Copies of this chain bind each other. A is one copy, B any other.
Amino acid sequence: MQDDALSTASSVNAARLLDSIQTLARFGAREDGGVDRPALSSIDIDARRHLIDRALALGCSVRTDACANLFFRREGLENLPPVMTGSHTDTQPTGGKLDGCYGVLAGLECLAALNDANIRTRRPLEVVAWTNEEGTRFQPGAMGSSAFTDPVLIERYMQARDSEGITLAAALAAHRDAFPSLATRPVQAQAHAFMELHIEQGPLLELADVPLGVVTGIQGVRWYAVHCKGAAAHAGTTPMHARHDAMTLALAVRAELSALAHELGRDDTRITFGRWTVLPNSINTIASDVTFTVDFRHPDASVLHAFDKQLDACVERHAVSREVLFAHPPVEFAPSIIRRVKDACNALSAPSMNITSGAFHDAMYLAKHCPSAMLFVPSRGGISHNPAESTGDDHLVLGTRALAHCLVHLCNEAP
């Protein structure tokens, strides 16, 4: 068993892995070196056809489900619940080559390495490409993984429309038409474990000069929109004392929420006020309406709850209103899988550190379905969602080797 894990890891083919990343990046390539591949677009369907062909060539069976997730399955020696790994292939409009794709392609490389090493595992291994993780074409994001773990969600998602008015239902029909022969994976077939390999999308590994991050959980998040009402008035004729400037009000609320977040969250605080809508947004008119978003993240659920309560009090104190846009509790990954990830790092003599993910990932939903964890490799400059997104080749290969080691151990675990 130990030998199988190490020999699979050493069978990971660096050139083949790196080439597969460049090849997939051609689907939706941007002139600036980035990738623009909206979920279930014709470009994404072409990319999926490429992945399906590759999986079939590796001897896998290929299945799909109601949300067009793709499952590439390498059978095991026994008919046991499978080990799953994977990520997504859709990108941000100004995305890079690695966010999501790296996890899928590293999974396929592990399948190839197992073939090359002529290793059979006890359990089946499934590499998955989850649909619409980015949430750029259809909202919300992580549709595929959340619908996999909670199938009733698909009914609601079907109504989602992209910016051209196309529904998810229509996009899924186009996907079915493109791949009419794909079998359907049974709903709720319980998996044994899920592992997601991903770029960090932040600066912590690079700052610490550590090549592997053992992800112990994902921060919880609150998304709010805060609406502040003033009165539009002429910038020249309205004395300062007679103004009701919605922007001045909004900035007072923002300052309080920022102070509050830092007081509650201390060093782990992540607070962002990223989207602003100002009306009438005219040079010489005092703002009548300002709406801004709050993105607050923290690994501690009690801090998130305290923030919710104090935000409500702040909003009431200032007589503004707020809307909850999204909320997710912190996710703690399974200690059993985290241990496998650490063992893999140690077995490869690769320095690693524990890290909490600041970004959402499909693993956030898979953690509800089966024991799950993640592995990070460094992002140069912490840059992501950007054509300049990059990771050193040595880190990309090392991450894939650690994934292979980990997957083989999980695949050989007893029921």
Give the interface of A toward B (CB within 8 A).
200-204, 207, 219, 221, 223, 232-240, 242, 245, 247, 251, 254, 262, 269-276, 278, 281-287, 293, 295, 297, 325, 357-360, 382-386
A238 adjacent to B358 (CB under 8 Å): yes
A311 to B232, CA, bound (A): 26
Residues on the B chain within 8 Å of A233, using CB: 382-383
Nearest CB in chain B to that of A325: its residue: B283
Copies of this chain assembled into the complex? 2
Within 8 Å CB of A293, what residues of B?
A: 283
* Contacts A251-B251, A273-B247; A236 near B283 (Cβ below 8 A): no
User: CA A383 – CA B244 in complex, angstroms?
Assistant: 13
- Residue from A219, A278, A360 with most neighbouring chain B CB atoms (10 Å): A278
A-B contact pairs, 16 of them (CB 8 A): A201-B237, A202-B238, A202-B239, A203-B237, A219-B236, A221-B236, A223-B283, A234-B358, A236-B270, A238-B358, A272-B283, A274-B287, A275-B278, A275-B283, A276-B276, A283-B293
Decide: A270 and B219 in contact? CB cutoff 8 A: no
Q: How far is the CB of A380 from chain B (nearest CB, A)?
A: 13
A384: which of B237, B278, B295, B384 is its contact (CB, 8 Å)?
B237
Contacts of A360 in B (CB 8 A): 236
Which of B207, B239, B247, B359 is in CB contact (< 8 Å) with A204?
Answer: B239
Check A358–B282 contact: CB distance below 8 A. no
Known interface pairs A242-B203, A247-B276. Does A382 touch B237 (Cβ–Cβ under 8 Å)? yes
Instruction: Give the residues in chain B near A202, CB-CB below 8 Å.
Output: 234, 236-239
> In the assembled complex, which residues on chain B have CB atoms less than 8 Å from the CB atom of A234?
201-202, 358-359, 382, 384-385
